[in-house]
Amino acid sequence: MNTDSEPVIRAENLTKGYGSFLALRGIDLEVRRGEVFGFLGPNGAGKTTAIRCMLDLIRPGGGLLRVLGRDPQLEPVAVRERCGYLPGELRLDENAPVNLVLSFFQQLRGGSARCRKRANELSERLGLKLDSKIKNLSKGNKQKVGIVAAFMHTPELLLLDEPTSGLDPLVQQTVLNLVSEARRGGATVFFSSHVLAEVQSIADRVAIIRNGKIVEVGTTSELSAKGMVRVRVVLADMAEVTAGEFDALTGVSLTKSEKSGHVFELKVEGGMDALVKMLAKYPVESLETRRPGLEELFHSHYGKRAEKGNRGDM
Amino acid sequence: MASFWTVFKFSLLRSRWTVLGWGIPLLLIGLITAPFYDLVAENELQLRPIIRGLNPFIKSFIGGEAAEDLLTPAGYIALRYFAFIPVILGLFGAVAGSGMLAADEERGVLDFVLAHPAGRAAVFWGRLAAMGIGLVIIIGLGWFGLWCGVLRADSLNFPPGQLALPYCSVFAVSALFVTLALALSMMMPSRVAAAMTTGIIVLAGFIITSLAKAIPGLETLARFSPMTYFQTNAMHGLNTEPLFGLLATAAVFSVFAWFGFRNRDIRVAGDGGWKFPFSPWR
């Protein structure tokens, strides 16, 4: 049995391969009780593979994985009893009506009156027509069935795999509201997405996965602060600075300069000291600095990969 | 155990149209075939020399040396009806067995079901039990149709219990094809491949078993065909040895399929590949 101090999800050097392709290359992860944990990465980065390992739908090749203190491979049912799962591409029995599908999932969860009541509340809130056949539902409405199934038993852990993909903004907002409510109710949420703004708005901590490896973990503000700083410098007219002077500074690169030769946009990695000392020699009209958002950080990781890939192709 | 019954109940409910879709035609075949014996009985004298003069290869498909039994009431039911029912239900087995898990797996439905607290054992055995009951209902409808047909025929007089005996053998051979298709679907890259392979085995088995009556060299090969152990003449008494042999083989295929399902990754759409339940390099 797990205690409150124990992580809800713990992965150590978790690997998973499909033939010669390694989808997870040794993931280390700790998700704490009661937090919303964002799992960021583009398609094919390994997000779904990690979640499917947590539910014992697929078996890891190596490493350690504990969900709610249990090994999903040894006690899959015990893990799933306490989890709610919502995939982005939800597939259901097309010929069954919604109420039959939900009744099936309720009965798999023990068929308690509380679960039925909550399912009815959620269906009403989402405006889900219970007598419609699944095949007659739009993608958004199908996803609502999944939302009800994932939330109806008030799970301790929610595993949401790109839950808002393809949904209209209203349903997206409903999902995010339900996530916030679940967190307030004490649930832990593992939220995989490639929609950065969404993760930034909802997650306490974020991990970025790239090529099956976790490349960054931290709170959203920590991660935003971690990367480079964007600087915009406007010098007085009489100042004569060449682009080479900026490039000569360690960790500073010029990204844009205006024709007037007095306005420069820079990317600064490491510290600002060298730049400030250099600028002190000139009359500075204004200096603006901006920390990049999660999105920029995310792209910086994938940018590096793309550059690496391009070099590899040569 | 609770999730086993839930899976069983919902699988049975879900397969109701499939069961009726196969059961009602079977009922109609029995209902239509049996009364035709009156015509055969009326024209027995003309038909006997025709059957006697048939080419041995053609004769092999209507009982071979025993082809003249077609003119007797029990022989007619055995050769005109029961000789073909295992082929029909064998093809049902190929489609239904291969689709029992693999169809939902390929559509991505199984992922969401297994994300709920239902163990793989409950899903596998619950669905297989529902499939077994579905097969019993199909066969039951077939038996009912044949019994009604016998009641309509003036020259046939069999009690319903006697008519039910060959259906025990029909069940055994169909169960074997269901479980063979299921086992193959757990191993092969796609459901279609498993269904096609089983379908080929059904048809090839039928042809080889029939031709073995005319071509002595095929007897050895026919020993490996499940159709050889089907008892068309079970109305005279059911031989339990081949019956239990077929059922035991079906049980072995079920266990093989279970290990395949228990040990492997659940596929998502488009994710194919050979999967061996006891693969040493897993």
pLDDT tens for B151-203 read 998 888 889 999 999 999 999 999 999 999 999 999 888 899 999 999 999 99
Percentage above 70 pLDDT, chain A: 88
Phi/psi-derived region of residue A214, left when phi > 0, alpha when psi is between -120 and 50, beta in every other case: beta
Block residue for tokens 């002077």: A245
Q: Residue A243 above 50 pLDDT?
A: yes
Question: What pLDDT was estimated at residue A308?
Answer: 47
The reply to whether residue A146 touches residue B116, judged by beta carbons under 8 angstroms, is: no
Q: Give Dmax (Cα) for chain A.
A: 79
**How far apart, in whole angstroms, are the C-alpha atoms of residue B196 and residue B183?**
13
Distance (Å) from the alpha carbon of A202 to chain B's nearest alpha carbon: 24
Distance (Å) from the alpha carbon of B111 to chain A's nearest alpha carbon: 7
Segment among A112-116, A123-127, B64-68, B105-109 with least mean pLDDT: B64-68
Residues in chain B: 282
Q: Which of B217, B255, B247 is nearest to B229 (CA)?
A: B247
- Find chain B residues with C-beta within 8 A of A52's C-beta: 111, 266
The reply to whether residue A90 touches residue B14, judged by beta carbons under 8 angstroms, is: no
Q: Residue A313 above 60 pLDDT?
A: no
DSSP A69-135: TB-TTT-HHHHHHTEEEEESS----TTSBHHHHHHHHHHHTT--HHHHHHHHHHHHHHT--TTSBGG
Interface size between A and B, measured as CB pairs under 8 A? 70
User: What is the pTM assigned to this prediction?
Assistant: 0.82
Band of pLDDT at residue A146, cut at 50, 70 and 90: very high
Percentage above 90 pLDDT, chain B: 51
**How far apart, in whole angstroms, are the C-alpha atoms of residue A277 and residue B260?**
68
Q: Residue A257 above 60 pLDDT?
A: yes
Q: Residue B115 above 90 pLDDT?
A: yes
- Tens of pLDDT, residues A184-196: 999 999 999 877 7
The reply to whether residue A85 touches residue B112, judged by beta carbons under 8 angstroms, is: yes
DSSP A310: H
Q: Which of A4, A9, A1, A47 is nearest to A214 (CA)?
A: A47
Strands of chain B (E only): list them.
none
List the single residue in B with minimal CA-CA distance to A94: B109
Question: What pLDDT was estimated at residue A88?
Answer: 77
Distance (Å) from the alpha carbon of A286 to chain B's nearest alpha carbon: 56
Alpha carbon A135 to chain centroid distance? 30
Contact at 8 Å (CB) between A55 and A208? no
The reply to whether residue B107 touches residue A91, judged by beta carbons under 8 angstroms, is: yes
Q: Which of B41, B199, B185, B47 is nearest to B110 (CA)?
A: B185
The reply to whether residue A87 touches residue B112, judged by beta carbons under 8 angstroms, is: yes
Distance (Å) from the alpha carbon of B250 to chain A's nearest alpha carbon: 27
Band of pLDDT at residue B269, cut at 50, 70 and 90: low
* Average pLDDT score over chain A: 85
Contact at 8 Å (CB) between A83 and A149? no
Q: Residue A1 above 50 pLDDT?
A: no
